[in-house]
Amino acid sequence: MAGYEYFEHTADVGFIARGRNLEELFENSAKALMNVMIDLEGVEEQLKREITLMGETLEVLLYNWLSELLFIFDVEELIFKRFNLRIVKGKNEYFLRAEGLGEKFNVQKHGAGVEVKAVTYHMLEIKRENSWFKAKVLLDI
């Protein structure tokens, strides 16, 4: 089963990501986001970047996670191909600690994909289907 797939939406891009656990779901969601903006095939794992976030629900945590990756891309021009991450449920929130592996964006090397303006809450959901987790995300382009 593929980690993610895209679906059409009026003037936006959506994706459905899957994972055997929450960590794999969040990693596949991140790859789906990154792969909209650039072709991940050419990305090398030259650097590491630590990311720590929290969210009141899993949906809020996913929104925060993808928004943070978009922010890092826009401001620091870093793109990530692989992630090592851990999600822990606290008393009233979820915590995510991740290490992104990738490199500095170079338009000559990586090409230019679609510009993602924002991650949206519209249609955002995380569900459990049998032994898989599934997330639906809509990106504003």
Res 113: pLDDT: 82
Domains of the chain, by residue range, sit at: 9-140
Task: Quote the pTM value.
Answer: 0.94
Q: What pLDDT was estimated at residue 2? A: 64
Residues 6+ apart with CB under 8 A from 44: 81, 102, 103
Structure token pair of residue 27: 């990693």
Torsion sign over Cα 117, 121, 123, 128: positive
Q: What pLDDT does 139 receive?
A: 95
Regarding the domain delimited by 9-140, which CATH topology (the fold level of the hierarchy) does it fall under? Answer: Archease, Possible Chaperone; Chain: A; domain 1 (3.55.10)
pLDDT tens per residue, range 33-73: 999 999 888 899 999 999 999 999 999 999 999 999 999 99
Residue environment code for 96-131, b if the CB has 16+ CB neighbours within 10 A, otherwise e: bebebbbbebeeeebeeeeebeebbeeebebeeeee
What tokens were used for 30? 């991140």
Helix (H, G, I), strand (E, B) or coil at 42: helix
Average pLDDT per run of 10 along the chain, which is 141 residues long? 81 93 97 92 94 97 98 96 96 97 93 90 93 95 89
Place of tokens 């925060």: 64
The residue written with tokens 């980690």 in the block is 3
